[in-house]
Chain A
Amino acid sequence: MNSNVSEAIALLPPNEPVHLLDPDGTYHEDPEHPLDLDEAQLRELYRLMVVTRKVDREAINLQRQGQLGVYASCMGQEAAQVASAYALKTEDWIFPSYRELGAALVRNVDAVGLLQLYRGTWLSDHNPYEHNFALMAIPIGTQALHATGFAMGARFDDNPLVSMVYFGDGGTSEGDPHEAMTFAGVFKSPVVFFVQNNQYAISVPLDRQTAAPTLAHKAIGYGIPGYRCDGNDVLATYAVTRRAVERARSGEGPAFIEALTYRMEAHTTSDDPTRYRTQEELDEAAKTDPIARMRNFLTQRDLYDDALENEIEQQAKDTATTVRAGIYDAPHGDPMELFDHVYVDPTGYFEGQRELLAAELEGGDA
C-alpha cells in the first residue's frame, strides 16, 4: 500500500465512538482508554456537571426575568465540556465559543463575570490570564485560529502547554477552523480541536452541514488524527481528550475530537426549537443524559450516597444563588468606559466625543 494512504488510514476515526458508560451506569473496560481517575476525581467530575446544570438553569431563569438579554444554554453537554476541560492541566489554555459554561466552571471562571456579555453590561468580565481561559467568541469558529496561534507561540517558546478550542458541528462548516487545522498540522502545534456535535446549528441539522461520514473524518485532510467519543459519557470524553492532550503535549501535534452530544435546550433563549424538532426526539435524547449516567455509575461503585447528594445539591444551589445575586447587583456599564479600552494609546482619538457624552450625562448642553 502507498505509504501516504496508510498514513491517512492511521488518522481515521474509529468505526464507533469511544463509549465507556451505558446510560444505566454500566462501565465497559477499554484497554486503550483505562480509567485513570481516583474516587475523588470521579466525584469531582460529577459535582462539576451538577453545578454546571444548576447555574445554566439559573441563567435561563435570569433571562426569563429580564436580567440577561439572551443566554445560550449548555444543557445536555455538561459531560462533553466538563470532562474535556478537566483533562487539561491548569497551565493549558481554553478557547471557548459562547456556550462553554461547563468548561468555564472547571477553570473557576466567575459565572457572573462571564454572563456580563449576556447581560449587556460589558463584553466580558474575566481576565483571561488569570484562568488561562480566553474570552468567549461569538463569530463561529474564529477562535480556532487564536488557539492555534497560541499553541504555535507556546511551541516557539519551548513551553509544554496545550491549547484547546471548542466549537460545534456548525463551526466545522466555517473556513477558519479549516485554516486553523491547516496551520496546526503544518506547524505541529499542540492544539486540540474539540467539537461538540450537538446535532444542531440553531435549527439546521447535521446533515445540512456536511456530507462527510463523520465530523472527525474532516481532520485527516490536514494530517490530524480524528477521534470520536460519546460526549454524554463523561469517562469516555475524559479518556479520549486526555490521550489527545498528552499526545499534543509530547510534541506529536494537534488532534481533533468529535464528541457526540445533544443540545437539550434551545440554541439560545431567543430561539423556538419546537419549529424544527419534535418532543419525541427530545425524550429520546433525555435518555442519554450525562449526569444521570454518571450518578448511576457512582452509585454502583458505592461512591454516591445521600450525604454526597445533599452536599453537591447544596453547593450547586449556593453557586446559583451567588450568580443570581451577582447578576442582580451587577452595575450597569459606565458609559464613559466606552472610550477607555479601545486603544492603549488613544492620542488623537475621540476628539469631542468623550466630552459630548460627558456633557450629556451631566444633563448639560453638549
Chain B
Amino acid sequence: MATTMGQAINAALMDAMEADPKVLMFGEDVGQLGGVFRVTDGLQAKFGDKRCFDTPLAESGIMGTAIGLAMYGWRPIAEMQFDGFSYPAFEQIVSHLAKMPNRSRGTVKLPVTVRIPYGGGIGAVEHHSESPEAYWAHTAGLKVMTPGTPEDGYSMMREAIRSDDPVIFLEPKRRYWMKSDADLPIETEPAHKAVVRREGTDVTLIAYGPMVRTAMETAEAAEDEGISVEVLDLRSLSPLDTPTMIECLKRTGRAIVIHEAAMTLGMGAEVATRLQERAFYHLEAPVLRVTGFDTPYPPAKLEEFWLPDVDRILDAIERSLSY
C-alpha cells in the first residue's frame, strides 16, 4: 500500500517512541488533534498524554522546556507548527540548544529533534510558507536535515531522534502527500550523505527537501530534449556532503543549485562556493542558482510565480550548457 511522506514520518515517530521510552513528542495541537498535518496522529492514543502532549501556544516555551527536559534525560521531539512560527524560538535554539553542549565541554547533551514543516506551494496564508533553513544551517551546534522522499522521511526521522546532537528536522510540507510503495520500516543512507537520485552526464541539479521532486520532474522533461540530467539530493544541510557534490561535478562539470528559499546567502551560495573552492578546474560553467526571489514569500495567488519550477530550471540548464 502506498505511503505518503506524512505517514512515513508519523510511522517513524511511532516506532521511535515504541523503541525508546525516553522519547517525548510535544507542541501545539500534536495531541488530541494529531497535528495540523496529522503527522502526530495516533501518538497520544498509543503512548498517553505524558509522552505526546499539547503545550501552551508559545514556541520559545516549547523550545526552552525541551532543553530542560533533555537536560533531565528525556529525548524530546518538539514541533514548531509552521516555519514562520519557529522564530519566537530562535533565541532558545541559537543561544542554548546549539551552544550548551559546547559550553559544557560535552557534559550536557541535548538530543532534541525540532520538527518544522517548511516551504511553500500549498496556497497557505502569510507566514506559513517560509524557508528558514539557512538560519539553522549557519548556526554551529545544530544538525539540519530535510527529507525529499517518503523513505527518507522515515529513516532520517529515526536517525534524528537517535542523534545525541540537536537536529532541526525540516519537513517539506508540500510533499507530505508524496507517495511511495516502499515498505516501512526502512533504513536509507545516513543523513550526512547526499544521494544521487538520478544519474546523468550533462549537468547536475543539486536540490533538497521540496525541490528534489521538482528537480526530478525537470530531469525527465530535459531527457525529452536529449539532455542527460543528474539529480543530487543533499538531504543534510548541516553538515553538507561536499565530497559527494564534488564527485557529481567531476562527472558533469556543470551544477545548478535549487531551493525555495531566497537567493541571497541561501544554501546555494554555500554550495557554489564549496564547488569553486575545491573543484574549480572541473567546472565547465559557473554554478548557477534557481531559487525563490529576494522578496518576502508572496501571497498564495502569486506563489506559482515565485517558486522555482520545471520551466525556470530548464532555462537555467540551457544557460549552463551554453558556456
Contacts and interface: CB of A to CB of B under 8 A. Distances in A.
Interface in A150-177: 150-154, 156-157, 163, 175-176
B108 A135 contact: yes
B218 interface: no
Contacts of B56: 179, 182-183, 186
Contacts of B50: 156
Contacts of A142: 64, 91-92, 95-96
Interface string B43-78: 000000010000110101101111111111110000
Contacts of B143: 343
A345 B60 contact: no
B301 interface: no
Interface stretch (B97-105, B122-130, B173-181, B199-207): B97-105
Contact of A145 (B60, B74, B242): B60
Contact of B69 (A134, A149, A340, A349): A149
B240 interface: yes
B236 interface: yes
B95 A341 contact: no
Interface string A327-366: 0000000000100111111011101000000000000000
B104 A146 contact: no
A124 interface: yes
Given A149-B68, A182-B56, A348 B239 contact: yes
Interface residues of B, number: 47
Interface string B279-321: 0000000000000000000000000000000000000000000
Interface string B23-56: 0100000000000000000000000001000011
Contact of B105 (A150, A175, A341, A345): A341
Nearest to A129: B107
Given A135-B108, A139-B91, A148 B239 contact: no
B168 to A, nearest CB: 13
B251 interface: no
A244 B110 CA distance: 29
A112 to B, nearest CB: 15
B95 A179 contact: no
A180 interface: yes
A28 to B, nearest CB: 38
A176 B104 contact: no
Nearest to A144: B64
Contacts of A156: 24, 50, 74
A145 B64 contact: yes
B220 interface: no
Contacts of B68: 145-153, 163
B120 interface: no
Interface in A121-144: 122-125, 127-129, 134-135, 137, 139, 142, 144
A348 B241 contact: yes
Contacts of B164: 344-345
Contact of B107 (A128, A151, A176): A128
A316 B231 CA distance: 68
A347 B67 contact: no
A129 to B, nearest CB: 7
Interface string A206-247: 000000000000000000000000000000000000000000
Interface in B186-212: 192
Interface string B224-262: 000000000000100111100000000000000000000
A345 B74 contact: no
Nearest to B108: A128
Contact of B165 (A129, A153, A176, A344): A344
Contacts of A183: 55-56, 58, 61, 65
Interface string A278-311: 0000000000000000000000000000000000
Contact of A135 (B73, B103, B141): B103
Given A183-B55, A345-B163, A348-B192, A175 B60 contact: yes
Contacts of A343: 101, 141, 143, 165
B96 A146 contact: yes
Contact of A146 (B64, B236, B239, B240): B64
B109 interface: yes
Given A149-B69, A348-B239, A125 B105 contact: yes
Contacts of B241: 348
Most buried by A among B63, B104, B241: B104
27 contacts: A122-B105, A124-B103, A125-B105, A128-B107, A134-B71, A144-B64, A145-B68, A148-B65, A148-B68, A149-B72, A150-B68, A150-B69, A152-B65, A153-B69, A156-B24, A157-B73, A176-B60, A179-B56, A180-B61, A180-B65, A182-B61, A340-B105, A342-B101, A342-B102, A344-B101, A344-B109, A345-B165
Q: Which 8 A-B pairs have the closest CB atoms?
A: A149-B68, A145-B64, A348-B239, A153-B72, A149-B65, A179-B61, A123-B103, A150-B68
Given A142-B92, A153-B73, A183-B56, 18 more contacts: A122-B105, A128-B108, A142-B64, A145-B67, A146-B65, A148-B65, A149-B68, A150-B71, A153-B72, A156-B50, A176-B60, A180-B64, A341-B105, A342-B102, A343-B143, A344-B109, A344-B163, A348-B192
